[in-house]
């Protein structure tokens, strides 16, 4: 719909006036509807309206911005997501048609604040002082869901724990239902609150944590406008705030320059470092992480699809832990948190591959004293070492079972695994992503057809071995139930969907990225009897592909959930096996040295695999096989630690410098446009043209005879190596902004030619001049 950008023939006075009134808003309802109709029928009139919009719109600069309630944002994003999916309910998107149901009721309980003098004041009042400590009881009832009351909260369902068999199928459905029906921020809030007591307790018994000044969140806060106090604003400036209050356990966020949150994942690191620590402290810390994970998982469900994945992606417990600690310490409301999340969701890129390398290096080294990527490494260990106690994994492995059990009295084996797997899956996602870039592709490829494609030496052996893991399985279940208890609380939904690859991910993480693929086959073969095998493989493949796409975690979950149903029958078993393997993986992680050795050995020859078989049932062989596939990965990674750190610091500096430069540029940018004169010694028709390559603004002053009625000058840009572009049409002057111009780089632009043709007002072909070139010239730098 080309917008008329030129001086158009004088419209009838009345039309002008009608358009102006329409834009001003003085028309009454019926007239307004009439004008809308007319706009649709009469493009010229629509152009008038747009012109008036453009004339008056600058006034918006004087309006006071108001932060909309966070749940409104979620609704809108949800609308968008639905409309993108062609969801039946998304048809409200269709332009002027108003959605009949008053679904967006934000605060039903609120009295109509019609013409309140201090609308905003009131609204932001409660939220502005989050420390007011509104008790849990006076939280207003959650806003009625637009569709159905639905399940009251994700947590109750999750906690009550569905029987082990059905979760794979039941959970995703549940999640979907919630996503549609629940007011998100309230949900988040409830979660935060549910976790609240546990947190305070844990913080109290854990060494660190300003448990004293906790600021309980009330739903009221969440419902109202996010406070706009400077502090909260500052917080929403997500990235800078990263290391806010982690003083106790800050670490150098160097590993991840691209992702500022890396700094936040730092707190987790100490745990992993302190492997020889006594149980309790570790467990406290770990339990906190677990909480963070729960919330994270729940958030994942609540966030509309557009933002999903982000949380999963960010689910390194350290990160969220820090986030939520901030909620508590600084009184950030759930809304703000969501906002921040959304913001980061929008800004973050998929994690850079080197994370994985770093993680690999970490895990590869037995003493993780100087971890490169604290948060990540921690995750990896965590994910791997869930069954730590059973074996002799690193110390923090112990924690997951011990603490969460007390804190949360829920034991649903299936639901329980969820969080773990979930976290693991994300890790896996990260891992696979990076692997994909390096050399993991080949590794993953063999996975699906592992029965069909026995060419690879490693795989047959693996199949033999996985029978071996079955013996360890008894061990695994022992370890499994406790963890399940712990996690069951919040995370359920997301978790349920992910299973197969999570396991693999869990395995993958501890030892090295290389193992991902090795594990895949193992697991697959383990389930070979059932059809699940194929799925697992599939799931993993899906995971990989998803990872390579933009939003890694989301798709992972989606796809797996989709594929799950078939495997349900075997699900419990499968899960157990998975756990067993995980356990194996832990052993692996614990005995990294051994694995490394094996890997080294394996790297020399492909057939080494059998040997590790004897050494240790599964893990060693895995490692060996993995190494056979990707010998070089873990080794170089270790050496790159300091390099990456240096790179990160450098990037940080550069970013800071750029920011400064930009700020400087903003301040000194003159708002006025410079004046230009064209001097001539005789009166010649001339067209003065000015193009701003930055903004794509095009200004034309024509000192020429007006074109005959029904015709107009059309302005063309003929850049070398590019299509000719119609910049606009005019009769005496033109001011337009062209996206095309803005996209061209200044170099080509300065070599471009500009033509003016005389054509009918409405061009026939959009990009072919229909009339003679009457003026021509070159662009030169001013």
Partner 1 sequence: MISPHEIHRLIAAVAKGDRRAFAELYRLSSPKLYGVILRILRRRERAAQAMRLAYARIATQASHYDGSEEPVCWLVGIARASALDIARESEVPDAFEPFEVAVPARDPLARQQRSLALRRLLGCLGALSVERRRMVLLAFYDGCSRHALSIYFDAPVASIRAWIARSTSEIAGCLARRP
Residues 27-86 contacting partner 1, CB under 8 A: 27-29, 32, 50, 52-69, 72-73, 75-77, 79-81, 83-84
Q: Tell which one of 137, 614, 672, 723 touches partner 1 (CB under 8 A).
A: 672
Q: Is 768 in the site for partner 1 (CB under 8 A)?
A: no
Q: Which is nearer to partner 1, 223 or 532 (CB)?
A: 223
Q: Tell which one of 44, 176, 207, 346 touches partner 1 (CB under 8 A).
A: 346
Q: Is 92 in the site for partner 1 (CB under 8 A)?
A: yes
- Cβ atoms of residues 392 and 662 within 8 Å: no
Q: Which is nearer to partner 1, 236 or 312 (CB)?
A: 236
Looking only at residues 293 through 312 of this chain, which bind partner 1 when binding is defined by CB under 8 A?
Answer: 305-307
Distance of CA 547 to the CA centre of its chain: 12
SS3 category, 770? coil
Q: Tell which one of 736, 749, 752, 779 touches partner 1 (CB under 8 A).
A: 736
Q: Tell which one of 147, 197, 233, 762 touches partner 1 (CB under 8 A).
A: 233
Q: Tell which one of 8, 34, 99, 711 touches partner 1 (CB under 8 A).
A: 99
Residues in the chain: 782
User: Based on the number of CB atoms within 10 Å of its own CB, is 64 exposed (0-12), middle (13-18) or buried (19 or more)?
Assistant: exposed
Q: Is 128 in the site for partner 1 (CB under 8 A)?
A: yes
d(CA 49, CA 52): 5
d(CA 6, CA 741): 18
CB of 308 to partner 1, least distance (A): 9
d(CA 128, CA 540): 46
Q: Is 96 in the site for partner 1 (CB under 8 A)?
A: yes
The token pair at 469 is: 């893991």
Q: Match 């790179």 to its residue by tokens.
A: 647
Q: Is 107 in the site for partner 1 (CB under 8 A)?
A: yes
Which listed range, 16-24, 272-280, 288-296, 497-505, lies at the site for partner 1 (CB under 8 A)? 16-24
What one-character-per-residue DSSP string does 360-406 give?
HHHHHSS--SS-SSHHHHHHHHHHHGGGTTTTT--GGGHHHHHHHHH
Beta bridge partners of 753: 718, 778
Q: Tell which one of 12, 40, 42, 108 touches partner 1 (CB under 8 A).
A: 108
For the sheet containing 753-760, what is the strand order?
725-730, 711-718, 753-760, 773-778
Q: Which is nearer to partner 1, 34 or 711 (CB)?
A: 34
The token pair at 479 is: 């370890």
Q: Is 117 in the site for partner 1 (CB under 8 A)?
A: yes
Q: Is 131 in the site for partner 1 (CB under 8 A)?
A: no
d(CA 547, CA 516): 14
> How many residues lie near partner 1 (CB under 8 A)?
107
Using CB under 8 A as the criterion, what x/- string covers residues 150-189 for binding partner 1? ----------------------------------------
SS3 category, 645? helix
Q: Is 664 in the site for partner 1 (CB under 8 A)?
A: no
Looking only at residues 545 through 564 of this chain, which bind partner 1 when binding is defined by CB under 8 A?
Answer: 550-551
| CA proximity to 553, closest of 236, 307, 241 | 307
Q: Which is nearer to partner 1, 229 or 545 (CB)?
A: 229
| CA proximity to 163, closest of 429, 457, 484, 439 | 484
Q: Which is nearer to partner 1, 300 or 586 (CB)?
A: 300
The token pair at 143 is: 């806003």
Q: Which secondary-structure segment (H or E) carries 691?
A: strand 686-692
Q: Tell which one of 679, 739, 765, 780 touches partner 1 (CB under 8 A).
A: 739
CB of 61 to partner 1, least distance (A): 5
Q: Tell which one of 175, 184, 345, 408 touches partner 1 (CB under 8 A).
A: 345
């Amino acid at each position: 719909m080309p917008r008329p950008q030129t001086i158009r023939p004088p419209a009838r006075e009345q039309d002008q006036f009608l358009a102006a009134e329409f834009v001003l808003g003085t028309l009454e309802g019926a007239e307004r509807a009439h004008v809308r109709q007319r706009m649709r029928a009469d493009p010229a009139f629509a152009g008038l309206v747009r012109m008036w919009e453009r004339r008056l719109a600058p006034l918006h600069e004087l309006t006071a911005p108001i932060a909309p309630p966070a749940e409104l944002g979620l609704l809108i994003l949800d609308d968008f997501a639905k409309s993108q999916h062609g969801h039946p309910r998304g048809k409200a998107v269709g332009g002027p048609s108003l959605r009949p149901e008053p679904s967006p009721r934000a605060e039903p309980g609120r009295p109509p604040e019609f013409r309140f003098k201090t609308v905003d004041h009131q609204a932001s009042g409660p939220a502005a002082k989050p420390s007011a400590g509104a008790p849990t009881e006076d939280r207003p009832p959650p806003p009625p869901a637009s569709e159905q009351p639905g399940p009251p909260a994700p947590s109750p369902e999750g906690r009550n724990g569905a029987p082990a068999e059905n979760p794979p199928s039941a959970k995703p459905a549940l999640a979907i239902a919630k996503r549609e029906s629940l007011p998100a921020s309230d949900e988040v809030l409830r979660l935060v609150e549910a976790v609240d007591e546990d947190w305070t307790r844990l913080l109290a018994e854990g060494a660190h944590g300003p448990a004293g000044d906790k600021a309980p969140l009330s739903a009221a806060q969440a419902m109202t406008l996010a406070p706009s106090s400077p502090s909260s604003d500052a917080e929403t400036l997500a990235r800078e705030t990263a290391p806010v209050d982690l003083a106790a356990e800050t670490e150098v966020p160097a590993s991840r320059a691209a992702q500022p949150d890396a700094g936040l994942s730092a707190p987790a690191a100490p745990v992993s470092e302190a492997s020889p620590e006594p149980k309790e402290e570790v467990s406290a810390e770990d339990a906190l992480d677990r909480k963070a994970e729960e919330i994270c998982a729940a958030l994942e469900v609540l966030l509309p699809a557009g933002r999903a994945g982000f949380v999963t992606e960010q689910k390194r417990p350290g990160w969220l832990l820090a986030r939520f600690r901030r909620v508590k310490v600084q009184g950030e409301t759930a809304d703000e948190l969501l906002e921040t999340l959304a913001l980061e969701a929008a800004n973050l890129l998929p994690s850079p591959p080197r994370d994985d390398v770093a993680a690999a290096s970490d895990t590869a080294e037995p003493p993780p004293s100087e971890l490169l990527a604290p948060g990540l490494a921690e995750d990896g260990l965590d994910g791997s070492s869930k069954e730590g106690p059973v074996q002799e994994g690193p110390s923090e492995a112990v924690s997951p079972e011990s603490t969460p059990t007390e804190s949360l009295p829920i034991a649903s084996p299936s639901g329980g695994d969820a969080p773990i797997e979930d976290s693991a899956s994300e890790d896996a996602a990260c891992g696979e992503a990076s692997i994909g870039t390096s050399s993991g592709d080949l590794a993953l490829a063999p996975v699906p057809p592992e029965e069909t494609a026995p060419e690879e030496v490693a795989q047959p052996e693996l199949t033999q071995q996985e029978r071996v893991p079955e013996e360890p399985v008894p061990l695994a279940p022992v370890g499994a139930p406790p963890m399940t208890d712990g996690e069951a609380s919040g995370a359920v939904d997301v978790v349920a969907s992910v299973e197969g690859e999570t396991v693999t991910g869990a395995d993958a993480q501890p030892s090295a990225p290389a193992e991902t693929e090795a594990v895949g086959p193992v697991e697959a073969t383990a389930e070979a009897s059932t059809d699940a095998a194929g799925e697992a493989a599939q799931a993993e493949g899906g995971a990989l592909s998803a990872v390579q796409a933009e939003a890694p975690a989301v798709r992972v979950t989606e796809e797996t959930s989709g594929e799950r149903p078939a495997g349900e029958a075997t699900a419990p078993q499968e899960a157990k096996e998975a756990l067993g393997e995980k356990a194996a993986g832990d052993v692996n992680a614990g005995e990294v040295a051994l694995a490394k050795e094996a890997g080294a050995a394996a790297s020399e020859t492909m057939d080494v695999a059998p040997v590790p078989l004897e050494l240790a049932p599964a893990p060693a062989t895995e490692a060996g096989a993995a190494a056979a596939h990707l010998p070089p990965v873990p080794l170089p990674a270790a050496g790159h630690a300091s390099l990456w750190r240096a790179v990160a610091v450098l990037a940080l500096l550069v970013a800071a410098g750029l920011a400064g430069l930009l700020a400087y540029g903003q301040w000194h940018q003159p708002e006025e446009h410079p004046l230009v004169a064209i001097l001539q010694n005789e009166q010649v028709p001339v067209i003065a043209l000015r193009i701003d390559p930055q903004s794509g603004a095009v200004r034309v002053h024509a000192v020429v005879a007006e074109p005959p009625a029904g015709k107009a000058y059309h302005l063309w840009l003929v850049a070398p190596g590019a299509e000719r572009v119609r910049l606009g049409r005019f009769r005496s002057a033109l001011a337009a902004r062209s996206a095309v111009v803005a996209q061209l780089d200044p170099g080509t632009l300065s070599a471009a030619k500009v033509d003016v043709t005389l054509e009918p007002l409405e061009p026939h072909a959009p990009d072919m001049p229909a009339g003679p070139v009457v003026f021509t010239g070159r662009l030169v730098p001013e």
